[in-house]
């Protein structure tokens, strides 16, 4: 991460402080949206934000380089989020197909609930586990770990033909990459991207999550359990192969005293014609200062600003999960069947996935213009409308098919 330079003037300092508080809250939210995200990751982010440079602005590279490699590396890293979206919604098309399979005993309602919910438990395990791998072996190896884990999870599903206990194992294992990608992908993208495009790339992970869900809904329309799972399995395998060609984070390489590799990584990311010497020197100095400035978690949490950021971010993460979006994604098709919409439940799930992707794209585009608060308020109203519609439908009251547009806004 480049060296920081202090801005002058009280007004400029106040505005910059606000932007850094926003960044701090967003980074904390990426950690706290998955439980047990790991104190080491939080400590790294807090130290960076509260460094002695204080309220500051990053310098860019001395010569303008190409941003294409940064987009490519960010896209490759967030493909793991695409896999996460696949694993998240797999139960929606798969459970009805499993009931129709010949030669298998249908799962009970309780067993189905375990198959769905064990994914969340796996995510709780995956977050600190991948956080440790990221700190110990690097961001690249942490992301590479996600692919084989997802592949193993889906292979178990393919070869065990709907056995409840093997489905439990598979889903528990499948939660690991979901918890892991929430930790490592945002940090990797933040460390490789220039300041000018970092905000733009920060929304890529959520878009990829939604796109992975849409992919699964579309493949699920083929109404074949094995084709669905096989098509899902291909994605993490391809993600793994693609990311093998991506560089390690220069920030991590400098922190682990791999100076030559760090220069090569930064040069690859900025383009071969870009002079990265000043940016590298600034980054090296920043890493050295933050390494020497050892701060305990207790000291970090003694700051009222830090506590406020963590409280807000944790609240947002809890709000997102308590809105019921995970349950909706687990049982999307079953929800549309139970509501009794006029069109096919398969078509409804695909439309739901499309709305999710479009919503994520639009929000990423307008968030800086409209503001976070308004979008969060809309996200709060939408699930209320959804559950109200479902309640009314259960009461046998005539209604429009409103849940389709409302369900996806909570994500």
Domains in the chain, CATH or no CATH each: 63-304 (1.20.1250.20), 325-411 (no CATH)
Range scoring the smallest mean pLDDT among 61-65, 85-89, 194-198, 294-298: 61-65
Which range among 14-18, 141-145, 303-307 has the greatest average pLDDT?
141-145
- Nearby residues of 197 by Cβ (< 8 Å), 6 or more positions away: 67, 70, 71
Task: Find out whether 336 and 348 touch, Cβ atoms under 8 Å.
Answer: yes
Select from 157, 290, 273, 276 the least CA-distant residue to 216. 157
Average pLDDT, the chain: 79
In which band, very low, low, confident or very high, does the pLDDT at 393 lie, cut at 50, 70 and 90? Answer: low
Range scoring the smallest mean pLDDT among 1-10, 65-74, 144-153, 388-397: 1-10
Cα 68 to Cα 71, 141, 197: the distances in Å are 5, 22, 11
Range scoring the smallest mean pLDDT among 215-224, 305-314, 315-324: 315-324
Phi, psi of 67 (to 5 degrees): -95, -5
Q: Whole-angstrom Cα distance, residue 332 to residue 349?
A: 6
Residues 141-156, mean pLDDT to the nearest whole number = 96
49 — alpha (psi -120 to 50), left (phi > 0) or beta?
alpha
Task: Find out whether 63 and 266 touch, Cβ atoms under 8 Å.
Answer: no
Task: Find out whether 85 and 215 touch, Cβ atoms under 8 Å.
Answer: yes
Radius of gyration of the chain (CA): 22
Chain center to CA of 96:
27
Chain center to CA of 181:
6
**The predicted structure's pLDDT at residue 407:** 52
**The predicted structure's pLDDT at residue 81:** 95
**The predicted structure's pLDDT at residue 353:** 93
In which band, very low, low, confident or very high, does the pLDDT at 24 lie, cut at 50, 70 and 90? Answer: very low
Q: Whole-angstrom Cα distance, residue 359 to residue 4?
A: 34
- Kindly give the residue spans of alpha helices, DSSP state H, lying in 331-397: 332-339, 345-370, 372-394
- Nearby residues of 156 by Cβ (< 8 Å), 6 or more positions away: 166, 169, 170, 173
Tokens linked to 400: 């429009």
**Exposed, middle or buried: residue 203 (CB in 10 Å: 0-12, 13-18, 19+)?**
middle
- Nearby residues of 90 by Cβ (< 8 Å), 6 or more positions away: 174, 216, 228, 229, 232
Cα 231 to Cα 5, 26, 87, 402: the distances in Å are 49, 33, 12, 31
Task: Find out whether 152 and 61 touch, Cβ atoms under 8 Å.
Answer: no
Tokens linked to 376: 């969060």
What single string gives the DSSP state of each residue in 24-55? HHHHHHHHHTSSS--HHHHHHHHHHHTSTT-S
Range scoring the smallest mean pLDDT among 119-128, 220-229, 371-380: 371-380
Q: Whole-angstrom Cα distance, residue 217 to residue 347?
A: 9
Q: Whole-angstrom Cα distance, residue 195 to residue 198?
A: 5
Task: Find out whether 296 and 87 touch, Cβ atoms under 8 Å.
Answer: no
Q: Whole-angstrom Cα distance, residue 267 to residue 280?
A: 9
> How many residues are present in the chain?
411
The pLDDT of residue 300 is above 80: no
Which range among 30-39, 61-70, 250-259 has the greatest average pLDDT?
250-259
Please report where in the chains the tokens 């799972």 appear, as a residue: 229
The pLDDT of residue 32 is above 50: no
Tell me the per-residue pLDDT of 173-213, one tens digit each, with 9 for 90 and over: 999 999 999 999 999 999 998 888 887 788 899 899 999 99
The CB density around residue 379, as the number of other CB atoms within 10 Å, is 19
CA angle 131, 61, 15 (to 5 degrees): 75
Q: Whole-angstrom Cα distance, residue 41 to residue 297?
A: 11
**The predicted structure's pLDDT at residue 2:** 39
Residues 49-62, mean pLDDT to the nearest whole number = 39
**Exposed, middle or buried: residue 165 (CB in 10 Å: 0-12, 13-18, 19+)?**
exposed
Tell me the per-residue pLDDT of 369-387, one tens digit each, with 9 for 90 and over: 887 788 888 877 777 777 7
């Amino acid at each position: 991460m480049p060296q920081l330079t202090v801005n002058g003037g009280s007004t400029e300092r106040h505005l910059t402080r606000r932007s850094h508080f926003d960044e701090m809250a967003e980074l904390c939210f990426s950690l706290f949206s998955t439980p047990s995200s790991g104190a080491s990751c939080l400590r790294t982010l807090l130290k960076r934000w509260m460094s002695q440079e204080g309220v500051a602005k990053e310098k860019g590279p001395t010569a303008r380089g190409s941003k294409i490699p940064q987009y490519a590396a960010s896209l490759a890293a967030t493909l793991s989020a695409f896999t996460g979206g696949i694993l998240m919604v797999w139960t929606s098309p798969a459970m009805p197909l499993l009931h129709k399979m010949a030669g298998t005993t249908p799962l009970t309602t309780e067993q189905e609930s375990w198959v769905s919910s064990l994914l969340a438990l796996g995510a709780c395990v995956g977050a600190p586990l991948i956080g440790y791998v990221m700190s110990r072996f690097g961001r690249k190896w942490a992301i590479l770990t996600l692919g084989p884990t997802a592949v193993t999870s889906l292979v178990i599903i393919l070869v065990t033909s709907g056995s409840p206990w093997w489905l439990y194992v598979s889903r528990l294992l499948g939660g690991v990459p979901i918890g892991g990608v929430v930790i490592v992908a945002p940090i990797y993208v933040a460390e490789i991207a220039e300041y000018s495009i970092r905000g733009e790339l920060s929304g890529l992970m959520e878009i990829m999550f939604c796109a992975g869900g849409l992919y699964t809904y579309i493949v699920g329309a083929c109404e074949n359990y094995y084709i669905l799972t096989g098509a899902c399995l291909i994605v993490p395998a391809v993600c793994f192969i693609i990311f093998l060609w991506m560089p390690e984070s220069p920030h991590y390489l400098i922190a682990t005293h791999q100076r030559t590799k760090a220069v090569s990584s930064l040069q690859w990311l900025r383009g071969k014609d870009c002079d990265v010497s000043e940016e590298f020197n600034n980054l090296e100095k920043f890493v050295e200062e933050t390494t020497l400035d050892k701060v305990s978690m207790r000291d970090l949490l003694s700051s009222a600003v830090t506590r406020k950021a963590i409280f807000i971010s944790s609240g947002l993460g809890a709000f997102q999960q308590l809105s019921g979006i995970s349950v909706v994604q687990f049982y999307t098709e079953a929800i549309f069947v139970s509501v009794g919409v006029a069109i096919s439940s398969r078509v409804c799930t695909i439309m739901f996935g499309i709305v999710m992707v479009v919503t994520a794209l639009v929000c990423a585009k307008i968030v800086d213009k409209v503001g976070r608060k308004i979008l969060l308020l809309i996200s709060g109203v939408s699930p209320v409308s959804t559950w109200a519609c479902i309640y009314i439908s259960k009461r046998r009251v005539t209604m429009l098919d409103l849940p389709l547009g409302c369900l996806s806004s909570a994500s």
